[in-house]
Chains A and B, each alone.
Chain A
Amino acid sequence: MIDRTIFRRATLAGAAALAMFGLASPAFAQKTKLTVYTALENDQLDPFKKAFEADNPTIEIAWVRDSTGVVAAKLMAEKDNPRADIIWGLAASNVGLMASMGMLEPYTPAGSTALNPMFLSGKSPQTWVGMDAYLSLVCFNTAEGKKGNKPVPTSWADLIKPEYKDSIVMPNPASSGTGYLTVAAWLQIMGEEAGWKYMDALHQNIAQYIHSGSAPCVQAAKGERLIGIGLDTRGASEKTKGAPLELVVPKEGLGWELEVTAIVKGTKNLDAAKKLADWAASKKANELYAKTYPIVAYPGVANTPPNYPPNLEKVMVKNDVEWMAKNRDRILAEWTKRYDGKSAPKAK
């Protein structure tokens, strides 16, 4: 009995002490932990986190990072009980779909009026806000090209020449967003009929449709394949690491996609999420994006990252994002019927 009383007193005293300590030193206040879902590259996470937290010392970022498909699937599977507070760095086509499913908390970040309108969802308030654009281009391995005496292509049309037979890899549009935007770009540049005819011809030169948007340029960089059609950032970073790679911008134009920020509906940390959304649309943040991406949302923030072809924004095709989303199922079904149903090309 006595023991218990003493114990209770001790607990009370401890609690009081803790409360006083807590009141006396606000510096020890709990930071808000913000769960951020992202498909940004691994090496971008630390600098982004540090820069944001320096400006917002009461908020701490906890990343959940994976490839675009995995993060999108996770977000959509968690729809009924969201775990993410905010999305920072995911493809606009995926986020757009989530917006149409009512999964996002509309919010127009302070200062978003300064951004290039192409990078905004166009809704009021905005459902998502763009950060940067990435492109699908051609990676050519010059060392292997020299060995096989193959010329560097300069256009999409060049890629269907018979000299490139079985030496091109591209992402499978059914499993990769980059693959889909590439196919959609061809259909938009050339028109549907000519576009499919082009892909029929290109199919003869394709060694493999890979289940990843970044793998084609990596395979080209490592000499596994002569030519990879895929993500620009990966091509540039492989070249920086020493790959004998040339990034080719086909003269007909390039397909592209945006990476965006969006607040998840149902977040328990709405204020902190808004702060991050504001910060992500700021000039400072865009300067950070520009270190890896050649094209960012804030006009005038331009910094061609190492080994990028210059003036890329000039060759971006007129891309109708809505058309892309609406026709996705139809195009993928047609693509799958034409190219994916066939078994692997016979190895020679």
Chain B
Amino acid sequence: MSLAVPSLKVGLSRDDLMMRAGVLVLAGVLLVMVGLPLWALLAKGFEDRDGKFIGLANYISYFSTPALFQSALNSLQVASITTVIVVPLAFLYAYALTRTVLPMRWLFQGISLIPIFAPSLLPGLALIYLFGTQGFLKVLLGGGSIYGIDGIVIAQVFYCFPHATLILTTALATADARLYEAADVLGTSKRRVFFTVTLPGAKYGLISAALVVFTLVMTDFGIAKVIGGNFNVLATDVYKKVIGQQDFSMGAVVGMVLLAPAALAFLVDRLVQRKQVALLTARAVPLVPRPKFARDLFFTLFCLLVSAAILAILGMAIWGSLIKYWPYNLSLTLDNYDFAKFDSNGWDSYWNSVRMALGAAVFGTVLMFTGAWLNEKTRGFGAMRGVVQLLAFLPMAVPGLVLGLGYIFFFNAPNNPLNFLYATMGILVLNTVAHFYTVGHLTATTALKQIDPEFEAVSASLKVPVWKTFARVTAPICLPAILDIAIYLFVNAMTTVSSVIFLYAPDTKLASVAAVNIEEAGTTAAAAALCVVIVLTSAAVKAAHLVADRFLFARLQVWRRR
């Protein structure tokens, strides 16, 4: 396709130096946000309970427990099954959104995101209402039980679907129509076009989506805890060690074992990256799908089906928030929305959540997009860029509670100059951005990869400084991806629990944590109510985004059309 630009051995330009300095700063920031806190906890794996260094003794004792292999196998099994179900499902859905003419596309796009609007408590509660011992649809399980691997897989599919859809939509959104036109002219069969043009173009997105789903399932303990029954997974093993027994050393050992998939993901990513070619060359013509009845009907039905499943789970939770006492008193009430009755912070925790989510969205988006750009567009400097890439991949593989505890150890250390951040809103923002760094980084990278480096080359030859190209060309082209990242951060910040549960202070308690506390207190309906309020907030923000996208930012994307 495009010829490699011959690299001349000349001194580094000012741009190059600036970019490299930027990569260094980024590496430093990520080290503080991700690397050092993680190490602060994982180092405990080499210590006994009193803090004495004992080498690998904890690992030896852990690996000699037969239960480990069962947990590890269970984790792998659930993660593989979920990935095999979610990725094709999300690919079809993303394909429908980007490559077919779908009635009310925006609505389907919005619905596909509902699962990330919801705290992971919500699918757990809804599934119990639906398929539990007293559930409406229990017969569908044919005498089986929702508590166990079936329940985990159903809930994980629900929970992971939007993550994969988001990545794949970005991957499929940018395509060069000329390739399809050429194929058309040459009389290539649709099948062949799909396998030689569409699929290779989305390859990076597909692999990213699979890696993200796989590691999300590996590290999530919330769903396994609520609905997993006796099905032990590695993430619940961490929970048992850390929360059940306050044994940080063994918790660190399991946490370290869980990093293996991240290491694998990192290697795979490096391999794929080398082969990815820019799709959107400077001469590219964006693809605009044309109506085609049979195809469009099929995908509309498919999207309807998936949306109905998602809405059923949400609807069940809404109904659950309005009833008095499941399952013995099903009369309706609004009392469950008076949160002050169930949690002394009342609605305050909700506003804390909104403030935290806004902070994370603004700070995180700037950091992630600029970071991905620096890492993608800096020439040379491979080693340092590799470090950044690794640090960006780590958070995905780290269970929230490992990261949260690491933050305590690192940021609360008496000699850490940053310990003024501890117990503030700031540390919650920092922790949340760190926790969700990987998907934002991958989305930004996917978007950036599709832009032809020629843009930079042309700018450079015109003596336009690189930051100007960034501000005038790159960022506006990537605006859809940038907004996606901001929304992704906002909604995740609204729902995150496992990490921030260790970090909130009396006046910064979050709604997601309050929901878990309320549920633990047995007030399921009020917990469902708080979950519903969180979903509605995120949905409103997303709706605003869609409207803005349609009327405001559409102008910036005009160039994509012919």
**Chain A positions near chain B (C-beta within 8 angstroms):** 35, 41-43, 45-46, 49, 62-67, 69-70, 72-74, 76-78, 80-81, 83, 94, 97, 143, 172, 174-177, 207-209, 211-212, 214-215, 218, 221-225, 234, 237-238, 241-244, 328, 332, 336-337, 340-345, 347-348
Residues of A within 8 A of B242 (CB): 69, 73
Choose one: B66, B244, B419; the contact of A174 (CB below 8 Å).
Answer: B244
Chain B contact residues (Cβ within 8 angstroms of A): what range? 35 or more
Which residues from chain B sit less than 8 Å from chain A, CB to CB? 65-67, 70, 74, 128, 132-134, 143-145, 147-149, 225, 229-232, 236, 239-240, 242-246, 248, 324-329, 342-344, 405, 408-409, 412-414, 419, 422-423, 501-502, 504-507, 513, 517-518, 520-522, 524
Q: Tell whether, in the assembled complex, residue B343 and residue A42 are in contact, meaning their CB atoms are under 8 Å apart.
A: yes
Taking CB as reference atom, which chain B residue is nearest A343?
A: B70
Would you call A218 and B522 a contact (CB within 8 A)?
yes
Contacts of A211 in B (CB 8 A): 225, 236, 239-240, 244
Q: Is the CB of B133 within 8 A of A238?
A: no
Nearest residue in B to A241 (C-beta to C-beta)? B325
A242 touching B230 in the complex, CB below 8 Å, given contacts A73-B242, A176-B244: no
30 pairs, A vs B, C-beta closer than 8 Å:
A41-B521, A42-B343, A42-B517, A45-B344, A62-B505, A64-B504, A64-B505, A67-B520, A73-B248, A77-B405, A174-B240, A175-B243, A177-B244, A208-B229, A211-B225, A211-B239, A214-B521, A222-B326, A223-B134, A223-B328, A234-B522, A241-B522, A244-B328, A328-B245, A341-B65, A341-B66, A341-B70, A343-B74, A344-B149, A347-B148
Residue among A65, A67, A80 making CB contact with B412, cutoff 8 Å: A80
Q: How far is the CA of A176 from the CA of B239 in the complex (A)?
A: 10
A344 pairs with B230, CB closer than 8 A? yes
The residue on B at minimum CB distance from A177 is B244
A212: chain B residues within 8 A (beta carbon)? 520
Nearest CB of A to B186, in Å: 54
| B contact residues around A244 at 8 Å (CB) | 328
Q: Which residue in B128, B405, B414 is a CB contact (below 8 Å) of A80?
A: B414
Q: Once A and B bind, how many residue pairs between them come within 8 Å at the CB atom? A: 157
Cβ-closest 10 pairs across A and B: A175-B244, A69-B243, A62-B506, A341-B67, A344-B230, A77-B408, A175-B240, A174-B240, A218-B522, A347-B145
Q: Bound complex: CA of A348 vs CA of B74, how far in Å? A: 20
Is the pair A70, B501 in contact by a Cβ cutoff of 8 Å?
yes
- Which residues of A have CB within 8 Å of B236? 175, 211
Contact yes or no, A337 B67, CB < 8 A: yes
Q: Is the CB of B524 within 8 A of A222?
A: yes
Residues of chain B within 8 A (CB-CB) of A42 are 342-344, 517-518, 521
CB-CB under 8 A for A81 and B414, given A208-B229, A221-B522:
yes
Q: Is the CB of B133 within 8 A of A225?
A: yes
- Given the interface contacts A211-B225, A242-B328, does A65 sit within 8 Å of B524 by beta carbon? no
Q: Known contacts A212-B520, A224-B133; is A77 also within 8 Å of B243 by CB?
A: no
Contact of A80 with B248 in the complex, beta carbons under 8 Å: no
Contact indicator A81/B412 (Cβ below 8 Å): yes
Please pick, from A63, A77, A172, A336, the residue contacting B502 in the complex, using a CB distance under 8 A: A77
* Contact status A76-B240, CB under 8 Å: no
Q: Please measure, in the bound complex, the distance between the C-alpha atom of A80 and the C-alpha atom of B506, giving whole angstroms.
A: 20
Q: Would A70 and B243 be within 8 Å (CB), given that A42-B517, A77-B408 are in contact?
A: yes
Q: Which of B230, B343, B504, B513 contacts A343 (CB 8 A)?
A: B230
A343: B residues at CB distance < 8 A = 70, 74, 230-232
Q: Measured between alpha carbons, how far is A174 from B246 in the docked complex, in Å?
A: 10
Closest residue of B by beta carbon distance from A83? B423
Closest chain A residue, CB of each to CB of B505: A64
User: Which of A42, A49, A80, A209 has the most chain B CB atoms inside 10 A of its CB?
Assistant: A42
Q: What residues of chain A lie closer than 8 Å to B145, measured between beta carbons?
A: 207, 347
Q: Name the B residues within 8 Å of A78 (CB-CB).
A: 408, 412
A243 x B239 contact (CB < 8 A) = no
Question: How far apart sit A243 and B243, CA to CA, in the bound complex (Å)?
Answer: 29
Which residues of A are found within 8 Å of B132, using beta-carbon distances? Answer: 224
Query: Are A223 and B133 touching (Cβ within 8 A)?
Result: yes
Q: Contacts A73-B502, A328-B245 known; list 18 others, CB within 8 Å.
A: A42-B343, A64-B505, A67-B243, A73-B243, A172-B240, A175-B236, A175-B243, A177-B244, A207-B147, A207-B229, A211-B225, A214-B522, A243-B325, A332-B245, A336-B67, A344-B147, A344-B149, A344-B231
